[in-house]
Structure 1
Amino acid sequence: MPFSYCGVLIPRISDESVVASAWERFLQDKPLDREGVRKVVLASWQRCRSEAVDPTKHSAPGAAAERVRQLQRLNGELCDAARPALEYLRDILRECGTLIMLCDRGGTVLQLNGEARVRSVGEEINLATGGCWNEEVIGTNAIGTAIVTGAAVQIHANEHFCLDVKRWTCAAAPILDPFDRSLLGVVDVSGVKETLHGHTLGLVVAAAKHIECELGRLDVARHERLLTRAIDNFVRYASDYLVLLDSRGRIVRTNGNAQAARDTYDLQLLQQVGNQVPGLDLALSEVDRCCQRPEWVRPEWLHPVKDHEGILGTMLVIPLGAANRRTAVSLPKAMATPAGDDAFGDIIGESEILMATKARARRVAALDLPVLLLGETGAGKELFARALHRAGHRTAGPFIAVNCGALTRELLASELFGYAEGAFTGARRGGLPGKFEQADGGTLFLDEIGEMPLDMQPHLLRVLQDGVVVRLGDTRERCVSVRLITATNRDLQKEVTAGRFRQDLYHRLCVVNLQLPALRERPGDIEIIVDHFNKKMARKYGCEPKLLDPAVMQAFLSYSWPGNIRELQNVFEVMFALSEGSIIDTSLLPPPIAQAGTNSPTISTSTPVPPSFGCLKEMERQAILDAIANAHGNMSMAARTLGISRSTLYVKLAAIRAQPCGSSVGV
């Protein structure tokens, strides 16, 4: 009967004698004419033969105690993250007579738990702390085979390559870096062959995933701290090419003109996020780092990024200042924009809180980083998103906006990622590119990101991590480069806690956040905004701007505007369109706003009060009322007539309303 590969994951006790016979024939280089040897085992045997592994080898080689301590220090984070999972395995398998082990990426045992009796038996073959169980030195075994294949595996009894190991059974699963999916280590459960159980493989796989999740959580928290500490450097060195690396030397973020850096210094940069730059792993000794560091990395370019807990990573600053001085086009758009062409000029207001928000937005615009806009509905999130795009490096590219809360799950998926021809009934012939593809080279604005369905969030996360999009119904990967700006009026941290939003996606989106003020937090801007809308509506309806009854402005100032600027614009346009003459009066106010206005006094100018020269306060009061009346309620004109600022005028009006001196002010 011809030999057949057996591809089952779990070894079978019934195959033990068959495997023993096949192993003997394999060593004698005879044809294998019996069934029962699994594909993963035979492939390992063949590797052992090519590496000339001695099948009579008694035990695995061991590392010296000092070397073991060094490996434990180098893998300290892995050991810490694995401890809860290993303790959980120990509790479950306490009565099973097994050893629970954590190994590094080279197969050396870093930690070991188990009963004294089993440990003693394991030490006979150096299945102990410091033992090296790489396939190349001790043949087929779960630890070494998992390292080679990058997959979980269970090896039982005669499936081992070396004779003295055949009395054991073991199951192991690789632990992969959650950031770049490289191998970090292996978790293994081993025992004498009588302890074989099919569930053991599932337990080690679950333990490995638990360790990866814990490492991912630590990575996200550390990268968030790293980005927070490094954000000022992105602004400070905005004209240079920056590479931000974490403590292991992995690229977390890049910013600036990579082509200019290559041309200026003849560099071959590792630009892909997740790539590791040799010699920048802070776990290595300074001597090792210097030896491994590429020649193109100049020491003066390296800047440590620290916080109160120590060094978080490294900022690699490749200076391009001289090149930028020669060619102004390389300057960040936020710096190169002429004063009269302010990208944030459409955002109306002069309040201190708005000016501070715009100043921060200008600094953020120069950075090619994801931005999360936080604010209430109608606070102007899309206006800020467009301004960030115009002031950024990608102003020549498209600006594409998508409201995640306005589409069903299916429509949102096809809108974002596109679809292939025949992906679903009614799909357009030839397929359709999604918004990510349409925004390539520019900015994609995802409004109401908190409304995105939970099951769609991993797909968005993959695009952000890998920079590739796969259309619905297609297998082809399309590379995209977009700057992502998101917005929400939800508290995403609470959504994460409630399990409605992925924590890893939240940290990807919230590299930089921008809190937009509500309209009620800047009441001094209301008159300027209304004046802007007045001129805008006049152009729209083909007429002159209209005058406002002072009581209308008072009502506007008294109302809380839960819908913010959007609500103010809608209310004002309706009042403008419905007003028959040149004056907008209180009869046009919506009831909630009119009700708010009744809590403030109204100004009546029907009967002018003659000035009393014996009372300065009365003279000031009357001058203010006359100025407002002569200006037909235009507070800016009244303030100019009086020679005071609008804010001073409103303060004085408030004092008049609080202590009326005559019949012209009533409540």
Structure 2
Amino acid sequence: MDQRDVRAAWERFVERGALPNELRTHVANSWQRSRGHQVAIDRDKAPLVAEAELFRQRAKHVSLRHAARNALESSRTFLSDAHSIMILTDPSGLIIDTEGDARVIDAGRAVHLEHGGRWSEADIGTNAIGTAMAEARPVQIHGAEHFCAEVQRWTCAAVPVRDPVDGEVLGIVDISGPATTFNPHSLALAVCVGQQVESVLARAIKEDHERLLQHYLAKRALWAADDCLLIDRRGTILHGSELARKAIRDNARSDGHDPPTRILKRLDFSEWPAKLKELIPGASIDLVAHDDTGIGAVVVLHARRRLTAADRGLQKQDHPADLRKQPAPTRSLPPPSLRFCDETSALRQPCVPPRRSRSLPSPATSFVAADPAVQAVVRRVEVAAARQMPILIRGETGTGKEQLARHAHAASGRSGAFVPVNCAALPDSLIEAELFGYAEGAFTGARRGGAPGLVQEADGGTLFLDEIGDMPVALQAVLLRLIDDWTVRPVGGARKRVDIFLVSATNAGLEAAVAEGRFRSDLLYRLNTLEVTLPRLRERTDFELVVRHLIDGIDPGCEIAPPTMAALASRPWPGNIRELRNILARIALAGDDEPGSSAIADLIGQAPPAKSGSLQDMQLASILAVHAETAGNVSETARRLGVSRNTVYRALGQTPR
């Protein structure tokens, strides 16, 4: 039907409810749904949510926005020539991002085709966004096919974006423009963009699964006698013993068709420990995060035995209130995260923490300062910290910048918290709320009591800005304003002054960034009152002490033989201390009866000098991933990977059958 016929059919439907057979089926169905929603045909614009609610929804769907970012930015050029815009909505049809022809974006505001506009069928009748949501398939709506008369000036094509794992609709990608710009190929373009976004999401999920598996492998020795479940952010069980799977099914009274852990997908990550304890009483929960974002958890069902120190350590992670009951450390003593050794005493006695039970300290607290250059850096930092001078710490990735920042916090004597902020992980749209928080009742769904924000959390303590060289330009302006008056204003709240000790770190060349206009020079001058640089691991003279300190934290019972120590010392360590920790974890997990034997030396040699993953761990991670994808089918896992079933059983820690 041409537009004249569609317009006539629309008028007959509005007057008498009659629908011609020639009208496209999904349009006819949508008109009927719109009438059922009691949408008035003279409704001239979609509802528009408040700014605070828009902010909350954009923050909630940040993973979807990140996945669509490249596609939206690319559309800025080619859609400008087509007089169109590309739109991203959340699953309810709320527009959270737009890009394209600036003139069309401006024209869209007349009908609230803009950030914050709600475009479900119940809100504004038949339109590509709402109809694609209702029918869960790609849809193109042109001109008079829209239900509301004012919106008939537009043409649009939309496609749902689905979760690559479970197929749930995460949002809508839409291409819109004036009706005169109608192009039948717009729907094909929208479908291609939707597939691109889903591909980015799938890649991100795979990377998170690999991180979860590597985390589990690094700590598996702690739970050798226990049954474990490895759960991703969507509540999918990636790996777990049959006993552990049965326990969670029995406790949750599940029928087995849908894992009871899938409920975790709907919860905020902070609510996971309580819910998992409800699903599996008595279990310990090890939450796993990447770039300050939760990606999953390891659930440990302890064997019927007396809890070890490692188990008690895990349980304390689940109960932050227990930590507050601990007596505060004496300020005059150096923090346990830093050990000072002069050269003579270091030769007499290794400078490592005392032997403990098999508890695993956080990697973020492992730091040794026996090298003279490192000692000089530490002493300068201590002087600056005592005077509350802003400190900028430079160094390659993995050299211990955050550990040094934590020591500066302890040396400052401040009673407040140490609050780390990953500057590279803060999206432009989330800066204000992440840093300054919001007040109670600031917007619909706001947490009771509000949220203080990272800056207020650091009030009376230390704000650590990590990866400051990757800080978005928008955040630089916000931070500069904060440093000027140390005043914060939460969304919907009153202004408040804060008292903060500022420490920053970077592995980037800030001078080059300033020259290229990517970093503000006035901000750099405020951050580097004291500037220090941590040396590379291969340049340090206390390599053996660092090794002994790290291995003591990974497995106190593991000894490093001299040949193995020599083999370690000969490596270039491009990943510095972080890479060394990974290699030592693999040595501890090797299960060799004689650590330091030729088998251990071979394990060290398997890793390429520039990378931190061994072939053994990569194969093991692949086996565990495919085993999860095949729902625990060993034969199918072996077939897909082209290995024997015995190899799969060994990777799973089971006896071949």
TM-score (ref. length: structure 1): 0.45
The structure showing larger relative contact order (alpha-carbon pairs under 8 Å, at least 6 residues apart) is 2
TM-score norm. by structure 2 comes to 0.46
